[in-house]
Structure 1
């Protein structure tokens, strides 16, 4: 649950409380394939793609899956997740982009699709992308956010997360707004461990909590807003996952956002809900075996290490996508009557010469 309108809370609490865009060769996002192309899994229909990073002798083998959640109270609700895979960005064989977007609110699917398309357009057209990817990411996110505000899409109480992994030669540049996540599987000499490539931006994080408070945000869970819990308590533990702390406008507790950064959500932008991404830079080593980008439909019940362990069980990333989606779906239904939308990209990093 990324956002909630107060008058809808009882309905959300009862049931526990992304669009498939026009694209080439993609189930849920824009995909521009390089010379190695992709093919589909014979049994599941899940695609398998490959892209070379020739200057550093790397081969990226990837698969992806996006599926609508199970919403018994909203049977016609669309998938608000989307994804984007853009190989040979700017016609550069050493530059590849993998991104996941998780929309929320009444127009979340439209916000996610808009952000996906505009983020690609800005990065693809940025002449400074190679020399300063971090600056380019910042510019692209802020421009996409501004354009969404000015578009015909009502993003007053709707928006999207974005987790984008840019493979630039032998370096990963990971830009994040919201609570979608990227994680790498890294050999440490004894086993393969999860290395988080992003940090969820929610009021659970002390630094993000303090930042939005300085901007004037009221931070409360819905039960605190409704008077069931003491609003003076300003700390939330794991037990608060089903009713997380949210950003609210002071004296106007109509719309609460459970993340501190997003694209869209113009109503709460003035109290710190910004589209400025946090960007992490990671050098690819021979110990980096793969990376994963996914929406919180995956990470709600699976830890980063859980996901890494599951990828390891399946040599074929298509099988890993299926298994992780199925396990996520099962865990949601173990805890609730519904599931979130689930989107995942898995990218294996291999030696091009082998």
Structure 2
């Protein structure tokens, strides 16, 4: 969900030794009234320090915009294996652009963020702060670039696999979710928290920075602006609370953190990510990184259930895209752009991981909450594990590449 004047109105992949091909944006064409997405392959990335591997696939689908049939896909993604030449360090990110120049903002952040991480020799010495600094630096560079980000920007949800740990950094309302086994069930656990005015802490933070927080109906006088009760994101998704300058009808962002959006930055929209860490265990099955086009009408658990029902991540990507597309058209006359990365853990039980532990640090407010004994112990553990490289073995990718089909719009374009 972007800004009121963006979506609501008018990659690079660096291959590892076991990557079979570079990713490209999904093409689409019509076959018997259906939209067919081009064939994909499964990719893999070993994590030799803990003797497991990542098996993953990605899909990106341009939204259906009857009023803007030529609108670009503003989503982008980045998958880079062996960051810093390290076979135990792998990056996955989804970037959801918004505004008139949302595509340019999304592509800029896609390229620069991982480059900054890759060029930072201190990344593994102080991963929380350095990861956060990379977001802030990318934001400054976007401001200084030739791209006019006055009313455009991008959200960013990223996962850095560091040996047997996941380091997650998020700005905005896209989402990362991990699945773990509990008995005979597969349970979804959010790795990120959507940063929107629905969150009381984020709402109060931006108000202190001068933002008016109102829905479109409220700002247009159709509803009482003094009633600051919007329910939840599921019930108020069609008219969510947004951020506005005092005495103005802009920028109308439905998120409280992003990269770019220099106008919204003046009323509290920040690029400081919320960063968390998860210790992997043999009970973890896969994780998902996806734009909010997926989660607008599907819960995290529903998405995890769909992934769990398809052994092949390509089939899961197709099913989720198709279901998301269908749900959008049931509620609106358009769809959002949809991007999904699914990453399966293979042979994770060989890693002998300890019980799950999660450490979180909300860098935007400068507070921390860590279940590790001390931050320095966590950093030493990470550094020692990653610096002990093992021989990196080439693995051949699975070459099965089925066609992927999502439903075509059931209603004709409206002007």
- TM-score by length of structure 1 reads 0.91
Residues 236-245 or 58-67, more deviating: 236-245
Deviation at 1:336, TM superposition (A): 1.1
Q: Displacement of 1:232 after TM fit?
A: 0.3
Partners of 1:272 and 1:282 lie apart in 2 by 28
Which residue of the partner structure matches residue 389 of structure 2? none
Paired with 2:122 and 2:65, the residues of 1 have a C-alpha distance of: 43
Q: In the alignment, which of 199, 204, 207 is matched to residue 198 of structure 2?
A: 204
Pairwise CA distance, 1:123: 0.2
Deviations along 1:265-315, whole A, 9 cap, x unmatched? 000112110000001100010011000000011000110000000001100
1:3 corresponds to: 3
1:227 aligns with 2:209: no
95, 100, 110: which is aligned to 1:101?
A: 95
> Which of 324, 327, 334 is residue 331 of structure 1 equivalent to?
327
Whether the 8 Å contact between 1:52 and 1:352 is mirrored in structure 2 is no
Paired position in structure 1 for 2:263: 267
Residues 44 and 114 from structure 1, CA distance in 2 versus in 1: closer, same or farther, beyond 3 angstroms?
A: closer
The equivalent of 1:161 in structure 2 is 155
Distance 2:205 2:303 in 1: 30
Equivalent pair of 2:281/2:348 in contact (CA under 8 Å): no
Structure 2: which 5+ runs fail to align? Answer: 27-36, 351-415
Query: What does 1:117-128 correspond to in 2, within 5 Å?
Result: 117-128=111-122
Pairwise CA distance, 1:203: 0.1
1:46 equivalent to 2:28? Answer no
Equivalent position of 1:277 in the other structure: 273
Taking the aligned partners of 1:38 and 1:294, their CA distance within structure 2 comes to 22
Query: Quick check: which one's helix share is greater?
Result: 1
Is the aligned partner of 1:136 residue 2:130? yes
Contact 2:155-2:259 within 8 A present in 1 as well: yes
User: Are the counterparts in 2 of residues 184 and 291 from structure 1 also a CA contact under 8 Å?
Assistant: yes
| Secondary structure class of the residue paired with 1:34 | coil
- In the alignment, structure 1 segments of 5+ residues that lack a partner are 18-28
| Number of residues of Structure 1 aligned to a counterpart in Structure 2 | 335
Alpha carbons 1:48, 1:61 under 8 Å: kept:
yes
- TM-score for the superposition, normalised by structure 2: 0.78
Choose which of 221, 238, 241 in structure 1 pairs with 2:237: 241
Query: 1:22 — aligned with what?
Result: none
CA distance in 2, matches of 1:166, 1:255: 31
Q: How does 1:308-347 map to 2 (within 5 A)?
A: 308-347=304-343
- Describe the SS at the equivalent of 1:240: coil
Match of 1:33 in 2: 15
Correspondence 1:255 to 2:237? no
Larger Rg: 2
In the TM superposition, residue 352 of structure 1 has moved relative to its aligned partner by 6.9
Q: Which residue of 2 aligns with 1:25?
A: none
SS in 1 for 2:161: strand
Give 1:152 shift. 0.8
